[in-house]
Structure 1
Amino acid sequence: MGVRITPASGTRVGVDNDRCELYGICVMEAPGLFALGADGRLRFRKHPLGPEEKEQAVAAARACPLQAVVLRGDVHG
């Protein structure tokens, strides 16, 4: 039987598009959550899956030089 991965409870990822300059650091920190599209736009999933992606989301928010990655909800729980 496979492992079931559920959304990290209460954590939401957001991006302030007015701040984001598309450096792609968030993509390097959390490749399962963020991606730069062929059209030059940032794509992201709002809900991390499981504790590992939640930690990656926190790392992406910390690493963003423009503080464009915003986490809401249960970030440390």
Structure 2
Amino acid sequence: MRGRRLRVKVDNDRCERYAICQMEAPDLFELSPDGRLFYTKRPEEDQVEQAAAAARCCPMQAIKVDRV
């Protein structure tokens, strides 16, 4: 699977805006002061571990990381 791009998806219906993803992967996720979640949908190869950590730590399991 090496060489394929990473894709991050957030299920906004499940996300409760705890911002744990932002703590785990601050380069990929940002919770704005007004409660909107911004995230990188196509992270770089060197950000795989950050994306996986954010998905693993999300208490609502709202983050999915796939190779495309």
TM-score, structure 2 length as denominator? 0.87
- Does residue 29 of structure 1 match 2:24? yes
Alignment root-mean-square deviation, CA: 1.5
Which consecutive residues of structure 2, in runs of 5 or more, have no partner in the other structure? none
Q: Which has the larger radius of gyration?
A: 1
* Cα deviation, residue 9, structure 1: 3.5
Question: Tell me, what secondary structure is at the counterpart of 2:22?
Answer: helix
Tell me which amino acid in the other structure corresponds to 1:72: D
Provide the aligned length of Structure 1 versus Structure 2: 66
TM-superposition CA deviations, 1:15-68 (whole Å, max 9, x none): 0000000000000010000001122111101011232x1110000000001100
Task: Please list every run of 5 or more consecutive structure 1 residues that lacks an aligned counterpart in the other structure.
Answer: 1-7
Structure 1 outlier segments of 4+, above 2 Å: none
The residue identity in structure 1 corresponding to 2:19 is: G
